[in-house]
Amino acid sequence: MSTIPHLINGERVSTSGRMADVFNPATGEVTAQVGLADRALLQQAIDSAKAAFPAWRNTPPAKRAQVFFRFKQLLEQNQDTIAKLISAEHGKTHEDAVGELRRGIENVEYATAAPELLKGEYSRNAGPNIDSWSDFQPVGVVAGITPFNFPAMVPLWMYPLAIACGNCFILKPSERDPSSTLLIAELLYEAGLPKGVLNVIHGDKEAVDGLIEAPDVKALSFVGSTPIAEYIYSEGTKRGKRVQALGGAKNHAVLMPDADLDNAVSALMGAAYGSCGERCMAISVAVCVGDQIADALVEKIVPEIQALKVGPGSCKGLDMGPLVTKAALEKVTGYVEDGVAAGATLVVDGRSLKVADHENGFFLGGCLFDNVSADMRIYKEEIFGPVLCIVRVDSLEAAMALINAHEYGNGTCIFTRDGEAGRLFCDEIEVGMVGVNVPLPVPVAYHSFGGWKRSLFGDLHAYGPDGVRFYTRRKTITQRWPQRATHEAAQFAFPSNG
């Protein structure tokens, strides 16, 4: 049985203490073990990052950016290998794994703009003979804690930008699918990163608590479920750290009576069942305005759900792989049972799905519930599986009131041909990322990603311009070089230009 190592000071480090099993979700077999870091190992990573920081901070941004140009090339050259590792441990299809890597590479491209992003703001003659400028300096040693569902993309949301801004980074990826994350980090070293600037430690709560408590770790970026996001935000900020903690979601798609139904159905299929519903931006609720569009949706989408091609992510041309673990499978099937017991109509039941020669895989077919109401657990909670719920309402206002009352506010979208409805929706919906006829409105790398309400704790969104702000500290300098001949008397009134 192979053991997946940590990466400290640019070197692989294996440990023999506590371990976690890593599964192939398509077969249910344990394929490797991953060491879970203890406090001593974490300290090694922190020491390595701390030692690397002074030189990296002073490396010109344009030189730092060169590393990321080479990194992008290496990621592209290794795309297939990385995607295979993702599929083998996460279960998602090869094409979907390539897709997440490509979105991650877009964040690397953004990081190559570090010289432009960090050039600051300058005011000549802010006062007599006084110039003033804002400089964006790195925060120091910063850490990222990432979820299983995007083992390539979510770490790439964080450390390329953090490192390009001059910080040193400790990454604690998900212990469920760590291999692709590790390979990608090693490619950054191959691209020329100095030792210690990025460290990868695998682990669980013990490692995360160590990062929260370590005084040398100045900022924490977290992406994962809401209870852990809230915990990390509250414990981290209590200790004076910067924290951005992105949590879970329940994303609604509104179908207006005038929606282009064929396109809306295609969009919903991909957004609800892609990656087996294990995306924080997955659409898990279709809110139909009027019974006519709801009935038409059911008629069109049911055969498509029944025709989903489900199998091991290693096979090409599939729509959906397995869920990530047996526990995830049991959790999602538990929600299906709960929905039935609560009185929702289970129109498509994916529980009977069998994948030939993969009887022990964590597979579940697509499920569809109709007549779901806001008091049901399947509506209120994040299921994180291939389950779409239909809620029927009478008006756009009722649809928006429903969405605005939900505790999560990550993503949402509206399908309509009516610009007035689309504009009202964009203006008044209490959600951080909004699509109009776009089912997964994940912002491109030069915008920023984040939800509202209990989908994000902290002030700044992830990556893009907000990411630059998060990973830098503004220092504003006011400088005077008086003319030699002038002498100014002491001023006791507060200086101003007035």
Residues labelled as active-site residues = 280
With CB under 6 A as the contact rule, the residue among 89, 96, 100, 175 that binds ligand NAD is: 175
Question: Is residue 146 close enough to count as binding ligand NAD by CB under 6 A?
Answer: yes
Q: Cβ contacts of residue 321 below 8 Å, gap of 6+?
A: 25, 26, 87, 90, 91, 92, 93, 96, 275, 276, 310, 311, 312, 313
Contact letters for ligand NAD, residues 270-309 (x by CB under 6 A): ----------x-----------------------------
Using the structure block, give the residue that is written with the tokens 């996460």: 90
Distance separating alpha carbons of residues 436 and 9, to the nearest angstrom: 45
Part of the chain binding ligand NAD (CB under 6 A), chosen from 55-63, 149-157, 425-433, 471-479:
149-157
Question: Is residue 149 close enough to count as binding ligand NAD by CB under 6 A?
Answer: yes
3-state secondary structure of 292: helix
With CB under 6 A as the contact rule, the residue among 93, 410, 412, 448 that binds ligand NAD is: 410
Question: Is residue 86 close enough to count as binding ligand NAD by CB under 6 A?
Answer: no
Q: From the DSSP assignment, how many helices (H) and strands (E) are in the chain?
A: 16, 23
Using the structure block, give the residue that is written with the tokens 């700044």: 460
Distance separating alpha carbons of residues 118 and 471, to the nearest angstrom: 11
Least gap, CB of 206 to ligand NAD (angstroms): 9
Least gap, CB of 128 to ligand NAD (angstroms): 49
Distance separating alpha carbons of residues 425 and 427, to the nearest angstrom: 5
Give yes or no for a contact between 154 and 283, defined as CB atoms under 8 angstroms apart: no
Least gap, CB of 468 to ligand NAD (angstroms): 18
Measured from the CB atom, the residue of 48 and 174 that comes closer to ligand NAD is 174
Part of the chain binding ligand NAD (CB under 6 A), chosen from 14-22, 93-101, 141-149, 267-275:
141-149
Interaction residues for ligand NAD, span 152-171 (CB under 6 A): 154
Using the structure block, give the residue that is written with the tokens 């450390």: 159
Question: Is residue 382 close enough to count as binding ligand NAD by CB under 6 A?
Answer: yes
Question: Is residue 148 close enough to count as binding ligand NAD by CB under 6 A?
Answer: yes
Least gap, CB of 488 to ligand NAD (angstroms): 53
Of 394, 372, 417, the closest CA to residue 292 belongs to 394
Tell me which residue has its CB nearest to ligand NAD: 224
User: What is the rounded radius of gyration, in angstroms, for the C-alpha atoms of the chain?
Assistant: 25
Least gap, CB of 446 to ligand NAD (angstroms): 17
With CB under 6 A as the contact rule, the residue among 27, 93, 112, 174 that binds ligand NAD is: 174
Interaction residues for ligand NAD, span 204-263 (CB under 6 A): 204-205, 208, 223-225, 228, 246-249
Q: Cβ contacts of residue 62 below 8 Å, gap of 6+?
A: 114, 115
Distance separating alpha carbons of residues 190 and 309, to the nearest angstrom: 38
Q: Bridge partners of 96?
A: none
Measured from the CB atom, the residue of 150 and 415 that comes closer to ligand NAD is 150
With CB under 6 A as the contact rule, the residue among 72, 92, 172, 392 that binds ligand NAD is: 172
- List Cα–Cα distances, 427 to 18, 412, 421, 449, in angstroms: 50, 13, 10, 18
With CB under 6 A as the contact rule, the residue among 53, 68, 379, 384 that binds ligand NAD is: 384
Least gap, CB of 181 to ligand NAD (angstroms): 10
Q: Cβ contacts of residue 308 below 8 Å, gap of 6+?
A: 269, 273, 319, 320, 365, 366
Question: Is residue 179 close enough to count as binding ligand NAD by CB under 6 A?
Answer: no
Which H or E run contains 89? Answer: helix 79-90
Measured from the CB atom, the residue of 223 and 265 that comes closer to ligand NAD is 223
Give yes or no for a contact between 5 and 13, defined as CB atoms under 8 angstroms apart: yes
Site of interaction with ligand NAD (CB under 6 A): 145-150, 154, 172, 174-175, 204-205, 208, 223-225, 228, 246-249, 280, 382, 384, 410, 451, 455
